[in-house]
Amino acid sequence: MAGSSRGGLIYWLTESRNGLGLIFMLPAAVFLLCLLTYPLGLGVWLGFTDARIGREGIFVGLENYIWLFNDSVFRLSVFNTIFYTVVASVLKFGLGLWLALILNEKLPLKNFFRAIVLLPWVVPTVLSALAFWWIFDSQFSIISWVLMKWGLISAPINFLGEPWNARWSVIAANVWRGIPFVAISLLAGLQTIPQSLNEAAALDGATAWQRFRRVTLPLLTPIIAVVMTFSVLFTFTDFQLIYVLTRGGPVNATHLMATLSFQRAIPGGQLGEGAAIAVAMIPFLLAAILFSFFGLQRRRWQQGGSD
Amino acid sequence: MAEVTIRDLRKSFGPVEVLHGVSIDIAEGEFVVLVGPSGCGKSTLLRMLAGLEHVTSGEIRIGDRVVNDLPPKERDIAMVFQNYALYPHLTVAENMAFSLTLKGAPKAEITSRVKPAAEILGLSNLLERYPRQLSGGQRQRVAMGRAIVRDPQVFLFDEPLSNLDAKLRVSMRAEIKNLHQRLKTTTVYVTHDQIEAMTMADKIVVMHDGRVEQIGAPLELYDQPANLFVAGFIGSPAMNMLTGRLADGGFVTGDGIALPVARPPAAAPGGPVVYGLRPESMHLGGEVPLRVEVVEPTGSETHVLGHIGATEIVGVFRERVRAAPGEEIRVRVDAEATHLFDAGSGARLSA
């Protein structure tokens, strides 16, 4: 009896459609569980404990979150993160679209320029952050130097030493790094728009602005939605640039949720609190994803029909 | 409506000249078809008319204006593209009204112009659809509707039927011609399909390698092709070409088979001559030996593939041909319908 039932199981696993499907899914399931779900689950769990480095935590419920809610540094970091994300994303979108439109024109050495545009994206973040660190140096900044030579300012600008200067400086560095992604993706989108549509619009009497506003932009919205969702997610979770440039300073003016989380958890040793900060980012990220999913989902004109 | 005059028009892409001085006169209300094999410059010519390509040299006039340097929107023309170029994010009605919307026309005017155009084209119940939800023929109609709503001086068509299936192509052909007879707008139509050209045109312009080979009414080109290229291009199946020489008031092929000639040219050249024989100008019963290889009955007529001497020949017979492959039949050639060309220059010899 036992033998036959085991034979039945092996038979079911190897011969039936569902059994085989289960076997084929196993590697992917193991991969997802071990490498994605476990770390994420552990992070969420840690957020509900008072774990420190070297000490197993005990469950403390929402205590971490209540404590964070009353922590002015955390609230500042939420403000910083939202400000950083909104301003940098808007700038990246505007400048990236502009660059994509230029690169879509017939230019000499077009491929060369396209390759150049990708460079900031290719260079490791830490390297570009170090370069910006020099550019924003309080004594040797090239920007201060040039402006002083022109006689526009009399003393070097303290880029990373003043809260608002520092915020704008890190935003500038992030925009510089993020533009290539937006520009190249939108350029790919632009190239899917048939040339004849622009020609037809020109014959219909559209000016260059009308062609952009009424033909190019509407046809580009699906790509814009995807690109900007990713751009917002990358910006919201940015860590490297801030950590190299300012470490969250001055007086926490540039601390983002990601850097604060690391600061509290690893150098500060408060694993539970750091994890709670990281978990607190999830609602914001979900909101961004849902916004793009529902707000910018496929338009009616994209649905139905073939080709 | 306007007349269009093209004078010694040239176009170069970099060092390569693709149009070598083209001159065409198009009368008001005329339906002109530019026809030629791909790469002959017909589409380039049309795009220059539309203002989508720069003019290298020469002159284009629409009405009494030289439009060489005018941007497309100031030329008062409408174009139907090969891929229709419908705006995918706009409905049929919005597509048709696009030019009016750009001008900021009032809603009432837009409706009063889109509605009749939609009715003419049978699009009235599709106005709220998006291009994706339409079939190829319907898209084609919307593209024409967009042109009609503009009420332009000149319609331009760039191979508008080449994306449709054979049956639809025939019916759209008639529809476009019908539309032209109704609107009487000057029309320039580009195609590589000589049947489209023959059936639709008031005047055909045959182009080849950036030059105009011949301009004329469809039957003029069929009856009096100016040279070997036009002779071979117009007519389907294509004209048979036999090489030989003129002798004794007739034509003798290279392998000694005599063929009748209606009016031998006065100054008969001693050199080689090409004898053009339309497939449909052969009849059963006569003197000319035709070795049959393939017989293709189509019902109303019978196509016969074979050889006269060493030359491959296609014949189209109204009679039913019952011949086995390899058999030799005798055919009579209608001398009035034959053509003679100089083998060297390709130019027409007989009147």
Q: Is the pLDDT of residue A31 over 70?
A: yes
Residue A296's pLDDT is 65
Contact residues, chain B, for A296 at CB < 8 Å: none
Residue B59: in which H helix or E strand, if any? strand B57-62
Distances (CA, A) of B242 to A26, B249, B289, B344: 74, 17, 14, 14
Distances (CA, A) of A245 to A32, A123, A174, A259, B276: 34, 16, 11, 12, 84
Give B46 to chain A, closest Cα distance, Å.
13
This model of the complex carries an ipTM of 0.81
Residue A306's pLDDT is 42
Alpha helices in chain B (DSSP H): 42-50, 92-103, 107-121, 136-150, 166-183, 194-200, 218-223, 228-233
State whether residue A251 sits within 8 Å of chain B by CB. no
Closest C-alpha to A200, from B237, B150, B221? B150
What are A77-87's pLDDT values in tens digits?
999 999 999 99
Beta bridge partners of B316: B303
Contact residues, chain A, for B78 at CB < 8 Å: 203
For B155, residues 6+ apart whose C-beta sits below 8 A from its C-beta are B77, B78, B79, B80, B147, B180, B185, B186, B187, B188
A58, A197 Cβ separation under 8 angstroms: no
What are B50-101's pLDDT values in tens digits?
999 999 999 999 988 899 899 888 888 999 998 899 999 999 999 999 999 9
Domains in chain B, CATH or no CATH each: 4-227 (3.40.50.300), 237-342 (2.40.50.140)
Q: What is the SS3 assignment for B296?
A: strand
Average pLDDT, chain B: 89
State whether residue A205 sits within 8 Å of chain B by CB. yes
Domains in chain A, CATH or no CATH each: 2-47 (no CATH), 63-299 (1.10.3720.10)
Contact residues, chain B, for A302 at CB < 8 Å: 88, 132
Mean pLDDT of B262-271: 71
State whether residue A202 sits within 8 Å of chain B by CB. yes
**Best residue in B62, B83, B89 for a mutation probing chain A (most A CBs within 10 Å):** B89
CB atoms within 10 A of CB B235: 19
State whether residue A214 sits within 8 Å of chain B by CB. yes
Paired tokens of B328: 């030799």
What are B325-345's pLDDT values in tens digits?
889 999 999 888 889 888 888
**CA-to-CA distance for A31 and B48, rounded, in angstroms?**
60
What are B32-46's pLDDT values in tens digits?
999 999 889 899 999
pLDDT-derived band of residue A55, with 50, 70 and 90 as boundaries?
confident
Contact residues, chain B, for A202 at CB < 8 Å: 51-52, 71-73
Paired tokens of A218: 């509407």
Q: Is the pLDDT of residue A305 over 50?
A: no
Q: Is the pLDDT of residue B256 over 70?
A: yes
Contact A219 B146 (CB under 8 A): no
Give A182 to chain B, closest Cα distance, Å.
23
By Cβ distance, the residue of B73, B87, B130 closest to A215 is B87
Buried b / exposed e over B261-284, threshold 16 CB at 10 Å, is beebeeebeeeebbbbbbbbbbeb
B342, B349 Cβ separation under 8 angstroms: yes
What are B124-169's pLDDT values in tens digits?
899 999 999 898 889 989 999 999 998 899 999 999 888 888 888 8
Cβ-Cβ pairs closer than 8 A, A with B, add up to: 73
Contact residues, chain B, for A303 at CB < 8 Å: 132
